[in-house]
Structure formats: C-alpha cells, structure tokens
Structure 1
Amino acid sequence: MDGRTLLMGDWTPVVRDGIDVLRLAIFAGAAGYAASGQWGSAALLVALGSITLVARLVNLPRLYDLSLTLGMALQGFGETLGLYDEFVRFDDLVHFTLPMLTSPVVYIALARLDVVPDPRDETHLRHYVGIGVVTAALGIAVGALWELFEWRSDAWFGTQLSEDNDDTNGDLFRDTLGSLAGAALLVVWARFGWGSVRRIPGVNTHEEVSA
C-alpha cells in the first residue's frame, strides 16, 4: 500500500479508508455499551452511526464524508462519555463544529435531490453567494431546531438539556458562527470545482457522474 492509498483510501471495497474505521468505531462503541446494558448510549451511537452509513452510500467527497462522520462521533461519544459535564467548554465546541462540519453536507444532500444547485454547476458569483446563504441558513435552522428539541425534552421527559436563556442564546450564536464557517468552506470547495461525489482513481477523476 503506497502513501497515497494509505491517506486517501480505496483500501478494500468494504473498508475503504480511515473514515470507515471511524464509522466502525462508532458501531463498536454501541456494541460495547449494549454488552454492558447501557441501552440508551448504545441506541444513540447506532442512530448516529447510521447517519454516517447514509453518507457512505451516497458517496460523499472524502472531506465531507469525514466531516459528517467526525461530527457524529463528537456528538455521540461526547454524550455517552459525559464530556459535556466534565468539560465546561465542550458544549461550546460542539455547537460550533457540528454546524461547520454538517451544514455543507446537508446542502450537498439537497443538491443530490435537485432541490438546490449542485456546487459544481454554474460557476459565477451569484451562484457562490447562493450556496453560502443557503448553507448558512440550513446550519442555523438545524441549530434552532435542536434548541427547540432541548426545550421540549426538558418539559416532556424531565431532561436537563437547556440550562437557561443565556445558554440557549449562546448556543445559537455559536451555531451561527459554525454555519457561516461551513458555508465559506463549501463556497471555496465549489470555487475550485472539486465536485460533490467521492473521486475514485480511474473511474470518476473528473467527476463525470451525476450528483
């Protein structure tokens, strides 16, 4: 295995790269929690791991496949290992990084459904502005929906996810910053024409496939 293959992947059809190893780690964590009877933690990791499997099935570009998988691992293990309680700023980190890593993936998923333009299409300024605005809005919207979930979960299930109004506003602020960063990254990605599918040497190097 040469250096490029080790870094970029395409190891085997089943385990293609380090991203697949991270995916497997999420499911291994779920299996470990299930074996110890911690079914809530196991279910959470299975749910988040399943999202990463969808990303694999739709053949996302490596960077965005990695982004989504990292985001799900951060959220899942952060919750199950109690990192939110152990580290004061862990919640701040998650509220910035998750929108940054996942909002571009949501945009690409919508592009696959022909809801929004594909990042590789029509490379002009208005197109880039549109990509940025929509991607940022998607990330902010997802963050707002999560805050609504926390609010209702506390009322209906007795959880303690939402501390107070300042905590909610701070989370939304960091969600917004992360979404803007993710939008900027996707615009850069589109500007250089790197496409919206995983590149496979000798198959679609020039992205000559439908998004």
Structure 2
Amino acid sequence: MDVRRLVLGDWNPVVRDGIDVLRLLMLGGAVAYAVAGRPGAASLLAALGAVTVVARVVNLPRVYDLCLTAGMALQGFGETFGLYDEFVRFDDLVHFTLPMLTAPVVYIALARLDVVPDPRDETHLQHYVGIAVVTAALGISIGALWEIYEWRSDAWLGTALSEGNDDTNGDLVRDTLGSLVGAALLVVWARFGWGSVRRIPGVNTHEDVSA
C-alpha cells in the first residue's frame, strides 16, 4: 500500500480508510460499554456511530465524511470519557467545531435530496451567498435546538446540562461562529466544484453516483 492510498483510502470494500476505522472505534466502544454495564455510554456511542454509518451509506465526499465522523466522535468520546468535566473549555471547543463540521454536511444531505442547489452545480455570486446563508442558518438552528434539548432534559430527565443563561448564550455564540466558518468552507468547496459525493477510487475527475 503506497502513501497516497494509505492517506486517501480505498483500502478494501469493507474498511475503506481511516474514517471507517474511526467509525468502527465508535461502534466497538458502544459494544465495550454495553458489556461493562454502562448502557448510557453504550447507547450514546451507538446512536452517534449509527449516524456515521448513514454517512457512509450515502457516500459523502471524504472531507465531509471525515468532518461528520470526527464531530460525532468528539461528542461521543468527550461525553463518555468525561472530558466536559475534565477540561473547562472542552464544551466551548465542541460548540464551535460541531456546527462547523456538521452544518455543511446537512446542506450536502439536502442537496442530495434536491432541496437546495448541489455544490458542484454551475453557480454565481448570488448562489454562493445563498449556500453560505442556508448553511450558517442550519448550523445555528441545530445549536439552538440542542440548547432547547438541554433545557428540557434538565427539567424532565433530571440532567445538569444547562448551566444558566450565560452558559446558554455563550454556547449559542460559539455555535454561530462555528456555523459561519463551516458555511465559508462549503462556499470554497462549491467554488471549486468538488461536488457532494465520494469520488471513484483513484480518479479525481469523476464521481461514482449522481447527486
């Protein structure tokens, strides 16, 4: 296996690349926690791992497949390893990086459903602005919905996810900043016409499914 294939993947049909290894680590972690009698951690990793499996099935571009999988791993292992409690700023990191990594993926998923323009379509300035606005709005909305979940979870399930108005407002600010960065990155992706599906192994100019 040469360096290019090691980095870019397409090792074999089952485990294509390092992204699949990360997926397997999450799913394996879910099994390990279930065996160890930690159903909460097991269910969290299983749910987030399932999201990454869906990303594999729909054949996202490698970069965005990596973004989504890394985001889910950051959230899952951060929670199960207690990193939120161990590191004061870990929550800040997650609230910035998750929208940055996942908002473009949500846009691409909508593009695959023909709800919004595909990033590889011939476009112009107004469409780039539209891609940025929609992507940023998606990320900000996801962040806001998560804050609502934290608020209701504390009331209904007895959790302690929300730490007050200052914490919520700070999280929303970081969600917004991350979403704006993610939107800008997707515009760059669209500008170069790189598309919304994974490329054929070893081929840089064609894609293996239609968007």
TM-score of the pair, normalised by structure 1: 0.97
1:205 CA drift (Å): 3.2
Q: How far 1:31 sits from its partner (Å)?
A: 1.1
Q: State the 1:209 CA deviation.
A: 4.0
Query: Residues 197 and 208 of structure 2 are in contact (CA less than 8 Å); yes or no, is this contact kept in structure 1?
Result: no
Aligned position for 2:110 = 110
1:157 partnered with 2:164: no
CA distance in 1, matches of 2:27, 2:55: 15
Give, in angstroms, the shift of residue 153 of structure 1.
0.4
Aligned to 1:168: 168
Structure 2's unaligned 5+ residue stretches are: none
Which segment drifts farther, 175-184 or 119-128?
A: 119-128
CA distance in 2: counterparts of 1:176 and 1:84, whole angstroms: 20
Residue 204 of structure 1 and its aligned partner are, at CA, apart by 7.5
Gaps of 5+ in 1: none
What code does the residue aligned with 2:192 have? F
Q: Matches of residues 1-211 of structure 1 in structure 2 within 5 Å?
A: 1-201=1-201, 205-207=205-207, 209-211=209-211
Distance 1:161 1:202 in 2: 45
Distance 2:24 2:79 in 1: 18
How far apart are the structure 1 equivalents of 2:45 and 2:126?
39
CA distance in 1, matches of 2:48, 2:126: 35
Count of residues paired in the alignment? 211
C-alpha distance in structure 1 between counterparts of 2:204 and 2:48, whole Å: 29
* Alignment partners' CA distance in 1, 2:169 and 2:162: 11
Which range is displaced more, 114-123 or 140-149?
114-123
Q: How far did 1:2 drift? A: 1.2
Cα deviation digits, residues 11-50 of structure 1 (max 9, x gap): 0000000000000000111111111000110000000000
Q: Is the 8 A contact 2:23 2:52 kept in 1?
A: yes
Looking at structure 2, the residues matched to 37 and 209 of structure 1 have their Cα atoms a distance apart, in angstroms, of: 42
Q: CA contact under 8 A between 2:99 and 2:178: conserved in structure 1?
A: yes
- Structure 1's consecutive aligned runs of 4 or more residues displaced over 4 angstroms after TM superposition are none
Kindly provide the amino acid, as one letter, of the partner of residue 171 in structure 2.
D
Give per-residue Cα distances to partners, 1:47-76, cap 9 Å, x unaligned: 000000000000000000000000000000
